[in-house]
Amino acid sequence: MLFEIMTLFPGMFESYLAESVLSRAIERKRIEVRLHNIRDWAENKHHKVDASPYGGGPGMVLKVDCVVPCVEEVRKNGKESGRLLMLTPQGKRFNQHDVEGLAQEKRILLLCGRYEGFDERISQILQPEEISIGDYVLNGGEVAAMAVMDAVIRLIPGVLGDEFSSSLDSFSRGNRFLEGPQYTRPREYRGLEVPEVLLEGNHGKISLWRAEMSVERTRKRRPDLLDS
Ligand code: 6GU
């Protein structure tokens, strides 16, 4: 899968891409990541990518005349046209269902904004899918783009060490429950003991206990998931 990231801050992706799961996936050619600096498409000699908003107001707006040529050039330099995602707090909220859809793609283009937003004509011309990763505001789309990539990449066969580990995730296909508690050695720590049921080796009983814990945790923390 090819990710094409368009950003004013390509450096923000470097330590993330060097992380072990990611660098292994890149090395094994399961994924390829290309970084494009939007500033390289700025027309003017000062390489200005933003300007103050018409009508006044705080902050700066990303200019249509650098973002559109950037995306158009990146888009046409590929075999697949791919899916174009624009990361913005005004977007549709992204969820695991969207992740599963993206995991089927060959090419994903991620357009990261900064400042107060994008000139509206960028959306009118490029018709991206505008997405947000949650109800809070980030300084830019870069961290959101990494979150999207991270979620998609772990569904690609051969990226995680254990092929099965993502199919058991909370929110994976059909699973609408939070995961319950997990324990590992030591059996006792500061007086806190591992639940007896996990030590007895009765797998039927363990499955039942885990299911109960999962429902209970979901009811307490995310009752909205049980409504759907
Ligand atoms: Cl995609 N961008 C920004 N700037 N803030 C966000 C977001 C995206 N998703 C949630 N908050």
Please report the DSSP string for 78-123 in residue order: SSS--EEEEEEEEEEEP-HHHHHHHTT-SEEEEEE--TTEE-HHHH
Contact 37, 7 (CB under 8 A): yes
pLDDT on residue 174 = 65
Task: Find tokens 């992380």 and name the residue.
Answer: 19
Question: Residue 134: CB within 6 Å of ligand 1?
Answer: yes
Provide the pLDDT for residue 146: 98
Contacts of 94 (CB under 8 A, 6+ apart): 131, 132, 133, 148
What's the pLDDT at 50?
95
Cα 136 to averaged position of ligand 1 atoms, centre (Å) = 7
Distance CA 65, CA 68 (A): 6
Fold held by 176-227 = Trp Operon Repressor; Chain A (1.10.1270)
Q: What's CA 198's distance to the chain center, in Å?
A: 34
In whole angstroms, what is the distance from residue 94 CA to residue 26 CA?
Answer: 25
From-to residues of CATH 1.10.1270.20 in the chain: 176-227
Token pair in block for residue 166: 């993502």
What is the location of CATH 3.40.1280.10 in the chain? 2-153
> What are 7's strand-pairing partners?
37
Q: How far is the CA of 49 from the centre of ligand 1 (A)?
A: 19
Q: Which ligand 1 atom is nearest residue 135's CA?
A: 10
pLDDT in tens, the chain (228 residues): 999 999 999 999 999 999 999 999 999 999 999 999 999 999 888 889 999 999 999 999 999 999 999 999 999 999 888 999 999 999 999 999 999 999 999 999 999 998 789 999 999 999 999 999 999 999 999 999 999 999 999 999 988 876 556 766 767 656 789 999 999 999 999 999 999 999 999 999 999 999 999 999 999 999 999 987
Beta bridge partners of 61: 51, 117
Helix axes 20-27 and 142-153, enclosed angle (nearest 10): 60
Does any ligand 1 atom lie closer than 6 A to the CB of residue 141? yes
For ligand 1, whether the C-beta of 140 sits within 6 Å is: yes
Q: How far is the CA of 89 from the centre of ligand 1 (A)?
A: 4
218 Cβ below 6 A of ligand 1:
no
What's the rounded Cα separation, in Å, for the pair 22 and 105? Answer: 18
Name the amino acid, one letter, at 214.
S
The predicted structure's pLDDT at residue 227: 87
Pocket flag, ligand 1, residue 88 (CB < 6 Å): yes
Read off the tokens for 61: 């707006």
Cross-strand bridge partners of residue 117 = 61
130 C-alpha to ligand 1 centroid (Å): 10
Contact 69, 41 (CB under 8 A): yes
Helix (H) or strand (E) holding 76: helix 64-76
- Ligand 1 lined by 122 (C-beta under 6 Å): no
At residue 81, the pLDDT reads 87
Kindly state if the Cβ of 117 falls inside 6 Å of ligand 1.
no
Site to probe by mutation for ligand 1, drawn from 85, 112, 138, 143 as the one with most ligand atoms within 8 Å of Cβ, is 138
Contacts of residue 4, Cβ cutoff 8 Å, sequence gap at least 6? 34, 36, 74, 78, 82, 107, 108, 109, 110
CATH topology of domain 2-153: Alpha/beta knot (3.40.1280)
pTM exceeds 0.95, yes or no: no
| Active-site residue list | 89, 116, 154, 169
Distance CA 18, CA 24 (A): 9
Ligand 1 atom closest to the CA of 134, numbered from 1: 10
Per-residue confidence (pLDDT) for residue 115, from 0 to 100: 77
Ligand 1 centroid – CA 202 distance (Å)? 45
CA 87 to CA 157: how far, in whole Å? 26
Find out whether 163 and 211 touch, Cβ atoms under 8 Å: no
